[in-house]
């Protein structure tokens, strides 16, 4: 009997396929996490916006769909976008994707809600300007300190190469083209760009993508961020091929989006499952759904480096501690559920450290002499392991957050992050840690089992 991959505390739909987080916002007392949702199948054939809400970033309630592809201008997909509250109204900006005689036509569109439950489409705001192809999408809107609004859009220029484009607006409704923020010579498309200020510096996030332009298919893509010296300047477009850091070194992290909480923190969610082809089909087989969002993380910076740590609300969540036992191979924990958090602090920089999760479904190795960390997970499309190795000058702390079929690892307070879906092979959860200095504080805590609900409580019990 295969073991279910259903997550217990991550946002995922009850059925179908989830991809990018969209429209993250705090509105009238609730957090909103919209997301790309195919509610018909576990593939990318149809795209709507689904959503979940939360009063506290910890307890989430799935709410169904918000925007469906039911207009001529979005008939082939209500694609990714963002949200902003303007004068008490929740404004959702998204890309309407349409195809005419095989040609892709995109519009940046607006929908409005005044109650967070009903969404009224206002129609297209503008089409792709001259000089760009139909790959023109993912509007991310930002309120500017001096007044007015900015929007960045991911684009492909007529020469078949990627760019990020800026629009400006006095009121969030009337938009004017503001020039090019940056261009690429290496990538055929830039998806999901985002611009914001973080601790007083401008930051740009984006996803460079290689495409086969003749076949109009994606080849590979990943997610990066960079701290800029100054805000966007159309007279000096950025070179998007250099100067970035990867936001996550695990296997499954794409299309991140952030928003600002009322208390001023910048929170990030990403799509945790950028699986392709065979890996995606295999992972979803026998399940009603595929893919989830990452856990919410606070984005902050240490100088020019973008760092992420689990949101305070999750870190402060009380949980049941699970004692470990000392074995010949190291300290062993056997929690009775796979939803837990593990922390180890005051680690020794000069000592190797190993973590083995669920008897090898996922593992981590810190090599103190080589100054590297390696994360591995058992491959599910063939024999062997998927492996990533990155440099790390010294290891001082780690935090591992697990759910039924995922592991999110934060090193040195968030300096390096690894997110991965894992394939549950055993119903016995376990974590083995080897190389731990005897005096290092460690703790494994079970997470509560009522954090994510598909239906309101009353409906679930009827």
Distance of CA 280 to the CA centre of its chain: 17
42 lines the binding site for ligand FRU (CB under 6 A): no
Provide, rounded to whole angstroms, the least separation between the CB of residue 22 and ligand FRU.
8
Nearer CB in complex with ligand FRU: 135/338: 135
* Least Cβ distance, residue 214 to ligand FRU (angstroms): 19
x-or-dash string of contact with ligand FRU, 125-144, rule CB under 6 A: ------------xx------
Q: What is the rounded distance in angstroms from the CA atom of residue 302 to the CA atom of residue 373?
A: 20
**Shortest Å distance, C-beta 345 to ligand FRU:** 35
**Interface pattern 51-80 for ligand FRU (x via CB under 6 A):** ----------------------------xx
DSSP-based helix, strand, coil % in the chain, nearest 5: 5, 55, 40
CB of 52 to ligand FRU, least distance (A): 17
Measured from the CB atom, is 46 or 445 closer to ligand FRU? Answer: 46
Pick 21 or 172: Cβ nearer ligand FRU: 21
Of 61 and 218, the one with the shorter C-beta distance to ligand FRU is: 218
Q: Does the protein bind ligand FRU through residue 20 (CB under 6 A)?
A: yes
Residue 88 to residue 447: CA distance in whole angstroms: 35
- Residue 19 found at the interface with ligand FRU (CB under 6 A): yes
Q: Which two tokens stand for residue 423?
A: 């394939």
Please tell me whether residue 49 binds ligand FRU under the rule CB under 6 A.
Answer: no
Interaction of residue 95 with ligand FRU, rule CB under 6 A: yes
Toward ligand FRU, which CB reaches closer, 255 or 314?
255
| Number of residues forming the site for ligand FRU (CB under 6 A) | 12
Nearest approach in angstroms of CB 164 to ligand FRU is: 12
How far from chain centre, in Å, is Cα 301? 18
Task: Let me know: does 58 contact 94? Beta carbons within 8 Å.
Answer: no
Rounded to the nearest whole angstrom, what is the least distance from the CB of residue 116 to ligand FRU in the complex? Answer: 22
3-state SS, residue 161: coil
Distances (CA, A) of 393 to 231, 368, 423: 31, 8, 30
Nearest C-alpha neighbor of 65 from the set 89, 87, 39, 84: 39
Cα dist from 436 to 49, 168, 332, 374, 445, whole Å: 45, 53, 11, 17, 18
Rg (the chain; Cα; Å): 22
Interface mask (CB under 6 A) for ligand FRU, residues 406-435, using x and -? ------------------------------
Minimum Å gap between C-beta 184 and ligand FRU is 15
Site membership for ligand FRU, residue 252 (CB under 6 A): no
248 binds ligand FRU (CB under 6 A): no
- Please calculate the CA angle 232-35-125 and round it to the nearest 5 degrees: 50
3-state secondary structure of 38: strand
d(CA 414, CA 401): 13
Residues 113 and 120 sit within 8 Å (Cβ to Cβ): yes
Q: What stretches of 144-265 adopt beta strand conformation (E)?
A: 149-157, 162-169, 176-183, 189-198, 201-212, 217-221, 224-227, 238-239, 245-246, 254-260
Comparing CB distances to ligand FRU, the nearer of 47 and 226 is 47
CA nearest neighbour of 380 among 192, 251, 269, 240: 251
**Active site residue ranges:** 20
Residues 185-214 that bind ligand FRU (CB under 6 A): 191-192
State which of positions 326-385 bind ligand FRU (CB under 6 A). Answer: none
Q: Which is nearer to ligand FRU, 206 or 340 (CB)?
A: 206
Chain contacts with ligand FRU (rule: CB under 6 A): 19-20, 36, 47, 79-80, 95, 137-138, 191-192, 255
């Amino acid at each position: 009997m295969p073991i279910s991959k259903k997550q217990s505390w991550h946002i995922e739909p009850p059925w179908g396929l989830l991809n990018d987080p969209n429209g993250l916002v705090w509105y009238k007392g609730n957090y909103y996490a919209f997301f790309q949702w195919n509610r018909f199948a576990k593939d990318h054939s149809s795209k709507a916006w689904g959503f979940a809400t939360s009063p506290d970033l910890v307890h989430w309630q799935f709410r169904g769909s918000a925007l469906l592809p039911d207009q001529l201008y979005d008939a082939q997909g209500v694609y990714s976008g963002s949200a902003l509250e303007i004068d008490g109204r929740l404004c959702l900006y998204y890309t309407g994707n349409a195809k005419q005689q095989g040609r892709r036509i995109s519009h940046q569109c607006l929908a409005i809600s005044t109650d967070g439950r009903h969404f009224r489409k206002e129609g297209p705001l503008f089409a792709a300007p001259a000089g760009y192809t139909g790959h023109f999408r993912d509007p991310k809107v930002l309120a500017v300190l001096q007044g007015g609004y900015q929007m960045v859009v991911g684009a492909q220029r007529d020469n078949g190469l990627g760019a990020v484009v800026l629009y400006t607006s006095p009121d969030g409704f009337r938009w004017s083209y503001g020039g090019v923020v940056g261009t690429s010579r290496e990538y055929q498309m830039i998806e999901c760009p985002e611009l914001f200020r973080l601790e007083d510096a401008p930051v740009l996030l984006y996803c460079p993508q290689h495409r086969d332009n003749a076949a109009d298919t994606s080849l590979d893509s990943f997610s990066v961020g960079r701290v800029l010296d100054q805000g966007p300047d159309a007279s000096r477009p950025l070179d998007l091929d250099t100067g970035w850091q990867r936001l996550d070194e695990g296997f499954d992290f794409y299309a991140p989006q952030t928003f600002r909480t009322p208390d001023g923190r910048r929170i990030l969610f990403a799509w945790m499952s950028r699986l392709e082809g065979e890996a995606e089909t295999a992972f979803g087989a026998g399940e009603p759904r595929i893919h989830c969002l990452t856990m919410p993380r606070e984005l902050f910076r240490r100088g020019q480096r973008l760092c992420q740590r689990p949101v305070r609300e999750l870190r402060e969540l009380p949980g049941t501690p699970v004692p470990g036992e000392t074995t010949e191979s190291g300290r062993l924990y056997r929690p009775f559920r796979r939803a837990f958090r593990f922390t180890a602090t005051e680690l020794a920089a000069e000592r190797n450290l190993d973590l083995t999760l669920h008897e090898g479904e996922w593992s981590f190795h810190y090599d103190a002499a080589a100054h590297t960390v390696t994360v591995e997970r058992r491959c599910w499309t063939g024999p062997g392991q998927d492996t990533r190795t990155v440099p790390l000058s010294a290891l001082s702390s780690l935090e591992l957050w697990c759910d039924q079929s995922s592991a999110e690892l934060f090193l040195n307070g968030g300096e390096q992050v690894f997110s991965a879906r894992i394939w549950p092979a055993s119903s016995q959860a376990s974590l083995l840690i080897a190389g731990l200095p005897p005096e290092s504080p460690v703790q494994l805590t079970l997470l509560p089992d009522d954090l994510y609900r598909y239906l309101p409580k009353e409906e679930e019990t009827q």
